[in-house]
Structure 1
Amino acid sequence: MAAQQCLARQSLPTGPVTAAYERKVSAGEVRRDNAQVALAAKLDALHQSLTSLPPAPVRTYKRADSSATSSNPLSLLPARTLESAKSYLQKKFYLWSFGPPPRGIYIHGPVGVGKSFLMDLFYASVSGPDDDSCSKNGSHKHAKITKRRVHFHEFMLDVHHRVFVYKEKHPTDDALPIIAQQLAQEAQLLCFDEFQVTDVADAMILKRLFLLLLDLNVVVVATSNRAPEELYKGGINRSLFLPFIDTLKQTFDIISMEDSSVDYRRETQASGQSYFWSNKDAHGNINNHIQAQLEAVFGGPASDTKAEVISVLFGRTVQVARFNERCAWFNFSELCYQPLGAADYISLCCRFPVIIVDRVPQLDANHLNEARRFVTLIDACYESRTRLVLAAQVPLDELFVDFEAHVESDDGDGELIVNDKGGSSSSFATTMIRTKEGGYYEWSATGRVGVSLAQFSSANDLAFSFRRAASRLVEMGGKEWGRQQRLTVRSSPPLRI
């Protein structure tokens, strides 16, 4: 019976994603999973529809500080009316010539079930304009379009930076249509890994940006640990974000892998010696044996030298005190107790193929900000294939403490409680109390401390991130993980307006 099923599978026509998946199954690299097979088929269908993807229309936008000098009667119309008329005519032309652009795909589910793996197989199957590597198999018709695969953190940083640069020159103009046009010119296919919304600035920008990109015939494929209706749940001003969720459901095929419970990253034991742990002594010093292993990774003893200054987006910099040409060495407090973020970590990963972090504590609900920064660092290292070597105070399976956040109300007064394993009476519990005036403050064992509710509205998102980070650290501990050279920082080409 099994042989007949195998022959049936071989006789059925398959697209490039399914074909690549089956080759990995046959080679023993992956184990066949029904949810992954179904997702591969959906991605094959999208791949086929990309062959008739309409090109991105090139549009011009009138700046607020410019004056109409054209003799064209249409120039007498208000700028928005003129652009709306052009947009309508262009859209009608493209629909008549090419048909509607394909729907994007939004894939959500637990960590390690193969979401990014299948998306990467799909991305590799799509040929770029000058790429012939995907055309060897003559049984498949290959689209040739511009494409970009990026972690969602990095993408939003890029968008914010583009807006920042544009606003410096044109402070009164609407930057988003210009940025969307630029992104569409660079990539007709956008593949996002780890789509998540925890920042109010991102939440407010996403709906308009996505509508503009869809209007410019950009196709989006995204993976996420969150179902659409769970995005930005509990976030400040979430009611303003809800229309984006409706847009996502209307314009994307939503694929759930929630029924998959196997974290395939954990099936392979790490053998690359990238995670070391021991209880620190009374002075906080690292075990001598672990210190020697870290020095072996670094290439010798690490001592503070003249700091290297690394450039970061938005004109900022980050300093590295212990480094050589290929490796930077930090303690946890240098990277995670400081006000650093994704932009800083991405710049460090571009510069150094190896990053060592020692004195990593157990991360629980009492270290929300530090844990969030550490998870962001792990994501940056994972996406750039930077080898991350850690020396921690607890084993890897105890590094991230499970916790949950929930809102309770009693007689109109509400509180947001964040608890971990210790329970609500432990020193790790934090309670947010809402006053009758509508303000919020923190009440804890150390007394009342002013704090932003926005910090805690994304606590459950961080709990998701903990599971993803732990899974990724297992994969990153593999012997073959990493790269040898520094990366070239991506720069945006100028856009003609």
Structure 2
Amino acid sequence: MSSLDGMMPFRTVREEYDHLEETGALRADAAQRAIVDALDALLGEISTKRLATKSSALGWLFGKRRKTHEPVKGIYLYGSVGRGKTMLMDLFFQRLPVKRKRRAHFNDFMADVHDRIQRHREAVKLGETKENDPIPPVARALAKEAWVLCFDEFTVTDIADAMVLSRLFSALFAEGVVLIATSNVAPRNLYRDGLNRQLFLPFIDILERNVAVMTLDGPTDYRREKLDQIPVYMSPLGPETDARMDQAWQTVLDGRSEHADTIALKGREISVPRANGTAARFSFADLCEKPHGARDYLAIASRFDTLFVDHIPVMGQERRNEAKRFILLVDTLYDQQMRLVASAAVAPEELYRGTVGTEAFEFERTASRLTEMQSRDWLERVRQRALSPSEG
């Protein structure tokens, strides 16, 4: 978006939202408008605090009158997928009148936190610091870099994250950090059924004291509308198909950044090369040339609801092991009712050309399922499953 002398063409979220509505870039949505007003109110509070903390005499007097030492409560916005949470937060972030601000996917932020904690522990071992507890210095450094944090896809699935969140955010809020976050679940459902969840519960209390919890739900799932327009099985392989897969992936990302991820499973890790939120992207080689089994595929299906698989080749007798894994993968995705977006050398019924062994017979079922997973009926079943997820 263009700017003039550092100013946004639209100063408030409401002005930009109205413009997008007038130009047809989005549809009027009463639920979104309520959030827009709350975000503009928060912008006003942050602007007041920023002015009051300036070093000028006028700023000091203004700050004293406005009691700027009182903390600014952020916003925790949750609701079903595709309702526009990320879009609204981005409009807000673009208008934040502060230099020290940060917008990040929550998983990326926590990976950074753990890296900082590890570096601090190494500094303690080397005698470079006498501060044994890494949380306070890490929180101070984070707050110094950004006193307004915007998190997309706030979710807690990792026990390592769960165990540090209470102390970390207690320290961040004490430093005056303001949090704005989007999530698919209410705060009370974060880390639900997680290991040692009772140790995580204090964080929920801390979070609810420092943010206004708001929900955004409405009749229209805008992301799903976009997803329904993308092809889900593309062939033959080549630059054009790769470009179409990339375009479909960008539609799923919906403006978010991607990152590498891992899934812990029975003392080992499954590497996820590209992920964001509930979507992951692998190559056929990642999934079927490595020694993965049913438990691995189920773990992937439990973490994500949309899976991209690039470069599915033609398989013959020489690739029986890969074919077996691919059969197992498709069976798992089918049973879990996942959305599969794939690029392949040929149509599903031509993918396996071996004639000996059980793979040829079993692959008939795989081809049939791959065809069904492209149908409108299948995609509607996937949609309904996504619209009514469990709260876990």
Deviations 1:93-112 (A, max 9, x none): 98986241310100011000
Residue in 2 aligned with 1:186?
145
CA contact (8 A) 2:11 2:95 kept: no
Counterpart Cα distance in 2 of 1:95 and 1:162: 38
CA displacement at 1:267 relative to structure 2: 2.2
1:276 matched to 2:233? The reply is: yes
Q: Matches of 2:75 and 2:311 in 1, distance apart? A: 35
| Conserved? CA contact 1:203–1:241, under 8 Å | yes
Question: 8 Å contact 1:364–1:400 — kept in the other structure?
Answer: no
- Which secondary structure state, in structure 2, belongs to the residue aligned with residue 164 of structure 1? helix
State whether residues 156 and 202 of structure 1, in contact with CA within 8 Å, keep that contact through their aligned partners in structure 2: yes
Query: CA offsets, 1:394-445, max 9 Å, x none?
Result: 79x969527xxxxxxxxxxxxxxxxxxxxxxxxxxxxxxxxxxxxxxxxxxx
1:170, CA displacement in angstroms? 0.8
The verdict on how the C-alpha distance between 1:165 and 1:297 changes in structure 2, with shifts beyond 3 A counting, is farther
Which one-letter code corresponds to 1:109 in the other structure?
G
Q: CA deviation at 1:242?
A: 1.1
Aligned counterparts, 1:422-441, within 5 A: none
Number of the residue aligned with 2:337: 401
Match of residue 58 from structure 2: none
1:372 to partner: Cα distance: 5.2
Residue deviations 1:139-165 (CA, integer Å, cap 9, x gap): xxxx23311110011011010011111
Calculate the TM-score normalised by the size of structure 1.
Answer: 0.48
Equivalent position SS for 1:185:
helix
Cα distance in 1 between the residues matched to 2:296 and 2:123:
43
1:221-241 deviations in whole A, cap 9, x for unaligned?
Answer: 001111011111111111111
Distance 1:269 1:154, change over 3 A: closer
Whose helix proportion is higher, 1 or 2? 2
CA contact (8 A) 1:341 1:376 kept: no
Match of residue 156 from structure 2: 197
Residue 178 of structure 2 corresponds to: 219
Q: What does residue range 407-426 of structure 1 map to in structure 2 within 5 Å? A: none
**Matched residue of 2:237: which SS?**
helix
Structure 1: gaps (5+ residues): 1-13, 58-92, 127-142, 278-289, 300-335, 350-354, 379-387, 403-462, 471-497
Offset of residue 23 of structure 1: 0.9
For structure 2, the 5+ residue unaligned runs are: 1-9, 54-62, 126-130, 244-264, 313-325, 339-381
Q: 1:367 aligns with which of 297, 302, 309?
A: 297
What's the counterpart of residue 76 of structure 1? none
- Partner of 1:139 in structure 2? none
Partner of 1:50: 46
Q: Aligned pair 1:265/2:223, yes or no? A: yes
2:75 equivalent among 105, 109, 112: 105
**Matched residue, 1:249:** 208
Against the structure 1 CA distance between its residues 20 and 365, is the aligned structure 2 distance closer, same or farther, given a 3 Å change threshold?
farther
Q: Is the 1:276–1:390 Cα contact (8 Å) retained in structure 2? A: no
CA contact (8 A) 2:83 2:222 kept: yes
Paired with 2:306 and 2:136, the residues of 1 have a C-alpha distance of 29
1:357 pairs with one of 274, 277, 283: 283
With over 3 angstroms needed to count, the CA separation of the structure-2 counterparts of 1:377 and 1:205, relative to structure 1, is farther
Q: 2 CA distance for matches of 1:268 and 1:375?
A: 16
The CA deviation at 1:244 is 1.1
Q: What are the equivalent positions in structure 2 for 1:16-31 lying under 5 Å apart? A: 16-31=12-27
- Cα RMSD of the aligned pairs, angstroms, is 4.1
Distance 1:104 1:24, change over 3 A: same
| Equivalent pair of 2:50/2:98 in contact (CA under 8 Å) | no
> After superposition, what is the alpha-carbon deviation per residue over 1:310-334, rounded to whole angstroms, capped at 9, x for unaligned?
xxxxxxxxxxxxxxxxxxxxxxxxx
Shift of residue 376 of structure 1? 10
Q: Distance in 2 between matches of 1:298 and 1:390?
A: 9
User: 1:293 maps to what in 2?
Assistant: 237
Which residue is 1:208 aligned to? 167
Task: Report if the CA contact (8 A) 1:356-1:390 is conserved.
Answer: no
In structure 2, the partner of 1:145 is 99
The answer on 1:235 being equivalent to 2:201 is no
**For residues 95 and 376 of structure 1, what CA distance do their matches in structure 2 show?**
52
C-alpha separation in 2, matches of 1:189 and 1:195: 15
Alignment equivalent of 2:111, drawn from 157, 181, 190: 157
Residue in 1 that maps onto 2:358: none
* Identity in percent: 36
Q: 1:293 is aligned with what amino acid?
A: L
Task: Output the CA distance in 2 between the equivalents of 1:100 and 1:27.
Answer: 40
Paired amino acid for 2:218: S
* Residue identity in the other structure for 1:401: Q
* Shift of residue 186, structure 1, vs aligned partner: 1.0
SS in 1 for 2:132: coil
Aligned equivalent of 1:125: 95
Deviations 1:455-477 (A, max 9, x none): xxxxxxxx99x949x9xxxxxxx
Whether 1:35 and 2:5 are equivalent positions in the alignment is: no
How do 1:418-497 and structure 2 match up within 5 A? 467=386
Q: d(CA) in 2 for partners of 1:376 and 1:183?
A: 33
Q: Which residue of 2 aligns with 1:115?
A: 85
